[in-house]
Amino acid sequence: MYKKLSMLTLILLLLIGVGGTLFGAPDGLEVMEKVYYRPSGDDMTADLEMIMTNSRGSTRERSITQYSIDTGDVDKKLMFFLAPADVKDTSFMSWSYDDARDDDQWIYLPALRRVKRISSDSKNDRFMGSDFTYDDLGERHPEEDRHTILREENFQGESCYVIENIPVGDDDAFSKTVVWIAKNKWIGLKREYYDDKGEVYKVLNIDEFKKIDGYWVITNMLMEDLERDHSTRLKMDNVEFDTGLTDSFFSERQMKRGPRR
Amino acid sequence: MNKMYQKIAQKPALVMLVIIGLTSLFIYGIGQNARIETDLDEYMPSDHPAFVFSDKAEEQFGIKDNVLLAIEHPESIFNPGTLEKIKSISEELPEQFDDIDEDDITSLYTAENITADEWSLIVESFYEEVPQSNAQIKKLQSAVEGNDMIHGRIVSTDGSATLIIAEIGEETFTDRFYADLQDFAASWEGPETVHIAGRPVVEGELTKLGPQDMARMAPLVLLVMTLLLLILLRSVRNTIINLLIVLFGTLTAFGLMTLLNIPIYTLSTMIPVMLTAIGVADGIHMHNSIVHIVHRKPDISRENLVEKTMEAMVRPVTMTSITTAVGFLALLTSDVLPVRYFGLFTALGIMMEMLMALILFPASIYFFGPPKQALKSKQAIQSKVTAAHKPSTISGRFGEKLLAHPKLVVTIAILAVALALLGTTRVWIDTSFLANFEDDSQVVKTDKFVNEHFGGTSSLNVILSSDEEDTFKQPEVLETMNELQMKIEKNNPLVGDSFALTDYMRRMHQVMHEDNPEYDKIPDSQELIAQYLLLYEMSGDPDNLNQVVDYDYMNANLTFQLKSDSSAVMEEVIAEIEPYIPQLAEYGVEVDYAGSGYKSLVFANLLMEGQIISLLLSFGIVALLLSLMFGSLWIGLAGTIPIAVTATVNFGTMGLLGIPLSSSTAIISAIAIGIGVDYAIHLIERYRFNRIRGVPTIQAAYETLEHTGRAIIYNAAAVMGGFAVLLVSVFPPNRQVGGLVALNMATSAIGTLTILLVVLVFIDRHSKIYSNKISTEEE
């Protein structure tokens, strides 16, 4: 009885495996590569609104105009603070490299009229004190994780792959993440972060995404840190693609000069 | 009433059965439910505004108690071995202790170093890989020395010691945790020494040491008291009865407490102290009366002896017990739970002791006959009694001198009380956990070490709050805070350090100006402050800022590190903050305090305030009850003299000897009520007993001194002797308890036998109180 059953199981598994390859169902890595290489334009301009809420329900809001460009091997971002008033015109620039190099970051403080490079090996790389790490905002290279498709399911009205990603190195704060990737759109709709004990400690939820200028863009997302009881909502507005930004725009001089508009 | 006791006493088997039954029940209760409550928070009235505020602030700013591991190297911690240990300990602590998170550790390894050069701002660890070469280590050392947020805080200024700080929750520190931590610390020793310090450690040691020492000393106290009772009473039987009364009273108090599931508080250890003094008084007065009666009628029958004894003693023993119990019940008005329980269960114990005294003595007579000692020594005493009208005995001569110079007695008493009152003005309130340890104990030495090398082992959180958003981005507000910090750090040698948002701002300002020390100050515009804050959030760990300022910049937390855990020092610092309050108020900023040190300060003051109010209240109640009992307001007032004298001398002596008033020393003054009332009632009752039998004033006084005086002196001597044993205790608070109990017993006895008697005779002579009664009560 046992033997028969296991025989049958083996055959079934084989069939599924062969069938999978035959019908072109991708494996985890392929899905994640599709997400990573999803076209996102050469450059982008947007207004960001960041709302952080702490455990006591107090909020901090920041409005930022953001410019970004992908020059092939460098992702450059330039941000100008619009509000709150006391940090208006403060600007922040980051260059992140496709290879293993650390990001370069600069800040311009208008009250000091100075640009400074920030060099931080702080283990805590939270973006502006929010619940997003720089990693969360940049695209994580698929090679940094081992990927397994756990299942396929409908999520928020989209047919999704649920993929488990286990980091290859041990530099990460999480032991694994699980993502929901919308098929055909190749956009992540939800991401759960697991700690060493195998418990979810952080959840990213995508509440809104749009197709703008032919590209899929996330325009509203919420990152919740369950441990700290802290959350950050990031909203994007006035999104424009391929407006012809040049590499030279991402400079210290521009940081002092202010946003283009 | 008499008849009831006699009936019960005639059934020794029943009495035994009930006692054994109750004893088993109480022992069962203690065995099942006894749990010692050491968490100070459990003592505190949690709805008191100061506590509500502090708890809120603690939650808001993550204010926790710190356990400090101080690593000391004979030369310098700047060597690969020690740096490796700092790293390993910082990593191992959260691994090995479930209650410690990675984020809870602060050390040279986890700290961030904010520096800058012309072009960049650098936020980095002091080291990640342990530096090996001399050059690398020199570089690290100069980085530490150049950063005031670390130098003198985490690493001692002489470089010989460093701290690893673990923040722990209130529930974390248990005996188990402490033992594990000690093992953990020991495993890292050599050549470094690893010290463990911090408030939870001291508190933990204290809650362990106190009861341990009491458990060691209590049998000794009992033994010495037993020996004294044997010598004084010359009766094994009555000595045993005395001990039974005390033990059963104590058992009742603790048995009921545990059966009702009430935990045993530190303060509860004072219950046996009270019950011993009071129970022995009951027993000795009973014994004294029995012996007296036997002396007069050596051939008296058992029934008659019981009859006579009860006739003389039921009234005073009942009166003293009820009055004392009511006096203790006045403690129920206290805000502090352990004080209320102390009052309630002492009162219950007193009532049980009363029943025991009134049952066991007659039962022993029914069962064994009159005490033999009384018969043996009757001759000697007989002669004294016959000579009572012509004093030749010590007490007689004493009485003669006493009554011959009433004015002198009163004058001396007034002088003594005046001196004591002078002393009371010097009483200072102080609660310090550390003061409870010997100067050469490990705890004190470690604390001293940490205080010498770092900011301090105790802390005071000053919570600044306003209704206006962004208040703590305003330069003038931060400037005032900074001024306050600098001034107090400079003026008060016991303030080692302070830490607030201001320190971040000064550091950022200096660093952003190429480390130019001229910029080690508060930036002068809100924009710049806001931009530094943003910069810090981007480059440092924003959670660090949450410990000093809230999200809306409406509330800030300024921490002072103190080199002493004495509440007096904390009050001193609070007084030094006062002058800045009006200036801060101009910016709409209010000043409050938080933290466990501050909570104990509030608690101690509340406790003492409550105790003093209850003491005054019970004083009033006693005066009222005595007036009712003796049918005279004057006698009632006179009866409070021993209490008043005892309490005054108690506090006065504390003031003169510099013993601080703390929760445990303050409660001892309750003994003034317990014993003062006893003595006063027995004395007045005996005097009255004599007078209504037609004995003239002076003779009545002599006889009272002879009769009650002896009982009082025996009682005082036995209890004093017992508690004097505590003077050799290794635990200073227990020494204070021993000394103060002995002092209070002595004052009560002396006060009763001198001034009260003189005043009593004076009242008797000037009012017709007893001459009237003679005719009515003597038919």
CB contact under 8 A, B121 and A109: no
Interface of A with B in 95-114 (CB under 8 A): 105, 107, 109-112, 114
CB contact under 8 A, A111 and B525: yes
Percent of chain B topping pLDDT 70? 95
Q: Which of A59, A118, A124 sits opposite B121 (nearest CB)?
A: A118
pLDDT at B379: 45
Q: Which residues in chain A are closer than 8 Å to B538, comparing Cβ atoms?
A: 92, 105, 107, 118, 127-129
Report whether A225 contacts A201 (CB < 8 A): yes
Q: Report the alpha-carbon distance of residue B241 to residue B230 in Å, rounded.
A: 11
Q: Which residues in chain A are closer than 8 Å to B526, comparing Cβ atoms?
A: 86
Average of per-residue pLDDT across B271-293: 88
Q: Are residues B564 and B643 in the same domain?
A: no
Confidence of residue A124 (pLDDT cuts 50, 70, 90): low
CB contact under 8 A, A129 and B542: yes
Q: Which of B119, B537, B551 sits opposite A54 (nearest CB)?
A: B551
Q: Which residues in chain A are closer than 8 Å to B539, comparing Cβ atoms?
A: 118, 120, 122
Q: Report the alpha-carbon distance of residue B169 to residue B113 in Å, rounded.
A: 27
pLDDT at B380: 46
What is chain B's mean pLDDT, rounded? 85
CB contact under 8 A, B120 and A86: no
Q: Mutate which of A103, A116, A232 to test chain B, going by most B C-beta atoms within 10 A?
A: A116
Is B123 in a helix, a strand, or coil? strand
pLDDT at B641 over 60: yes
Q: Which residues in chain A are closer than 8 Å to B552, comparing Cβ atoms?
A: 58, 60
Q: Mutate which of A81, A87, A94, A197 to test chain B, going by most B C-beta atoms within 10 A?
A: A87
pLDDT at A226: 92
Q: Which residue has the higher pLDDT, B101 or B37?
A: B101
Q: Mutate which of B124, B509, B513, B527 to test chain A, going by most A C-beta atoms within 10 A?
A: B527
Q: Are residues B543 and B458 in the same domain?
A: yes
pLDDT at A5 over 60: no
CB contact under 8 A, A118 and B119: no
Distance from CA of B613 to the nearest CA of A (A): 40
Return the minimum-mean-pLDDT range out of B167-171, B241-245, B408-412, B414-418. B167-171
Locate tokens 């397994």: which residue?
A: A148
Domain end, chosen from B386, B401, B416, is at B386
Q: Report the alpha-carbon distance of residue A211 to residue B554 in Å, rounded.
A: 42
Domain end, chosen from B594, B613, B647, is at B594
CB contact under 8 A, A122 and B530: no
pLDDT at A7 over 70: no
Distance from CA of B135 to the nearest CA of A (A): 21
pLDDT at B549: 94
Report whether A148 contacts A163 (CB < 8 A): yes
Q: Which of A109, A117, A129 sits opposite B531 (nearest CB)?
A: A109
pLDDT at A255: 93
Side chain identity, residue B480: T
Is A51 in a helix, a strand, or coil? strand
B59 belongs to a structural domain: no
User: Buried (b) or exposed (e) across B566-597, using 16+ Cβ within 10 A?
Assistant: bbebbbbbbebbeebeeebeeeebebbbbbbb
Report whether A241 contacts A215 (CB < 8 A): yes
B79 belongs to a structural domain: yes
Q: Are residues B379 and B489 in the same domain?
A: no
Q: Report the alpha-carbon distance of residue B501 to residue B301 in Å, rounded.
A: 86
Q: Which residues in chain A are closer than 8 Å to B541, comparing Cβ atoms?
A: 122, 124
Q: Are residues B371 and B508 in the same domain?
A: no
CB contact under 8 A, B539 and A114: no
Report whether B374 contacts B295 (CB < 8 A): yes
pLDDT at B775 over 50: no
Report whether B173 contacts B100 (CB < 8 A): no
Side chain identity, residue A186: W
A122 touches chain B (CB under 8 A): yes
Q: Report the alpha-carbon distance of residue B611 to residue B331 in Å, rounded.
A: 7
Q: Report the alpha-carbon distance of residue B362 to residue B539 in Å, rounded.
A: 85
Q: Are residues B550 and B564 in the same domain?
A: yes
Q: Which of B119, B125, B530 sits opposite A87 (nearest CB)?
A: B530
Distance from CA of A170 to the nearest CA of B (A): 15
Interface of A with B in 144-203 (CB under 8 A): none
- Number of structural domains chain B divides into: 4
Average of per-residue pLDDT across A54-64: 89
Provide the residue range defining the domain that includes B121: 64-204
Return the minimum-mean-pLDDT range out of A119-123, B331-335, B379-383, B642-646. B379-383
B171 belongs to a structural domain: yes
pLDDT at A17 over 60: no
CB contact under 8 A, A116 and B537: no
Report whether B287 contacts B261 (CB < 8 A): no
B191 cis-preceded (ω within 30 degrees of 0) = yes
B42 belongs to a structural domain: no
ipTM value, please give it: 0.85
Confidence of residue B113 (pLDDT cuts 50, 70, 90): confident
pLDDT at B392: 54
What is chain A's mean pLDDT, rounded? 84
Q: Mutate which of A55, A104, A108, A124 to test chain B, going by most B C-beta atoms within 10 A?
A: A124
Distance from CA of A212 to the nearest CA of B (A): 30
Q: Are residues B677 and B748 in the same domain?
A: yes
CB contact under 8 A, B512 and A109: yes
Q: Which of A84, A86, A120 sits opposite B123 (nearest CB)?
A: A120
pLDDT at A20: 43
Q: Are residues B572 and B516 in the same domain?
A: yes
What residue of B is the nearest CA neighbor of A107?
B535
Average of per-residue pLDDT across B464-482: 94
Q: Report the alpha-carbon distance of residue A253 to residue A112 in Å, rounded.
A: 15
What residue of B is the nearest CA neighbor of A115?
B119
Instruction: Determine phi and psi for A189, rounding to 5 degrees.
Output: -105, -20
CA max distance for chain A: 80
Report whether B622 contacts B674 (CB < 8 A): no
Q: Which residues in chain A are closer than 8 Å to B537, comparing Cβ atoms?
A: 128-129
The edge-to-edge listing of strands for the beta sheet with B590-594 is B495-499, B555-562, B458-465, B590-594
Q: Are residues B520 and B635 in the same domain?
A: no
Q: Which residues in chain A are closer than 8 Å to B542, comparing Cβ atoms?
A: 124, 126, 129
Confidence of residue B207 (pLDDT cuts 50, 70, 90): confident
pLDDT at B265: 80
Identify the CATH number of the domain in which residue B365 sits: 1.20.1640.10
Distance from CA of B94 to the nearest CA of A (A): 13
B104 belongs to a structural domain: yes
Q: Mutate which of A53, A79, A117 to test chain B, going by most B C-beta atoms within 10 A?
A: A117
Locate tokens 């003592």: which residue?
A: B43
Average of per-residue pLDDT across B528-556: 88
Q: Are residues B252 and B340 in the same domain?
A: yes
Distance from CA of A91 to the nearest CA of B (A): 10
Q: Which residues in chain A are closer than 8 Å to B470, comparing Cβ atoms?
A: 86
The domains found in chain A, sorted by start residue, are: 28-257 (2.50.20.10)
pLDDT at A21: 45
B669 belongs to a structural domain: yes
Q: Report the alpha-carbon distance of residue A203 to residue A191 in Å, rounded.
A: 6
The gap between the terminal CA atoms of chain B, to the nearest Å, is: 22
- Per-residue H/E/C for B453-498: HCCCCEEEEEEEECCCCCHHHCHHHHHHHHHHHHHHHHHCCCEEEE
Tokens, residue B568: 């007096």
What residue of B is the nearest CA neighbor of A57?
B551
Q: Is B264 exposed, middle or buried (0-12, 13-18, 19+ CB in 10 A)?
A: buried
Q: Report the alpha-carbon distance of residue B726 to residue B749 in Å, rounded.
A: 20
CB contact under 8 A, B512 and A58: no
Report whether A108 contacts A251 (CB < 8 A): no
Alpha helices in B99-235 (DSSP H): 134-145, 175-186, 199-233
pLDDT at B318: 92
pLDDT in tens, B116-135: 777 777 888 899 889 999 99
Q: Are residues B382 and B394 in the same domain?
A: no
What residue of A is the nearest CA neighbor of B60?
A56
Q: Are residues B629 and B767 in the same domain?
A: yes
Q: Report the alpha-carbon distance of residue B632 to residue B624 in Å, rounded.
A: 10
pLDDT at B777: 40
Kindly give, in sequence order, each residue whose CB lies less than 8 Å from that of residue B27, ignoring residues fewer than 6 positions away: B251, B255
B55 belongs to a structural domain: no
Q: Report the alpha-carbon distance of residue A204 to residue A180 in Å, rounded.
A: 10
Q: Which residues in chain A are closer than 8 Å to B121, comparing Cβ atoms?
A: 107, 116-119
pLDDT at B381 over 90: no
Name every residue in B having a CB less than 8 A away from some CB of A: 60, 112, 116, 119-125, 128, 470, 473, 512, 523, 525-532, 534-535, 537-543, 546, 550-552
B435 belongs to a structural domain: no
pLDDT at B38: 64
Q: Report the alpha-carbon distance of residue B54 to residue B151 in Å, rounded.
A: 29
DSSP, res B266: G
CB contact under 8 A, A120 and B527: no
Confidence of residue B607 (pLDDT cuts 50, 70, 90): confident
pLDDT in tens, A84-99: 999 999 999 988 887 7
pLDDT at B152: 87
Distance from CA of B537 to the nearest CA of A (A): 5
Q: Which residues in chain B are closer than 8 Å to A128, comparing Cβ atoms?
A: 534, 537-538
Average of per-residue pLDDT across B311-325: 89
pLDDT at B387: 41
Q: Are residues B634 and B511 in the same domain?
A: no
Q: Which of A84, A107, A126 sits opposite B542 (nearest CB)?
A: A126
Chain A to chain B Cβ contacts (< 8 Å)? 97
What residue of A is the nearest CA neighbor of B120?
A117
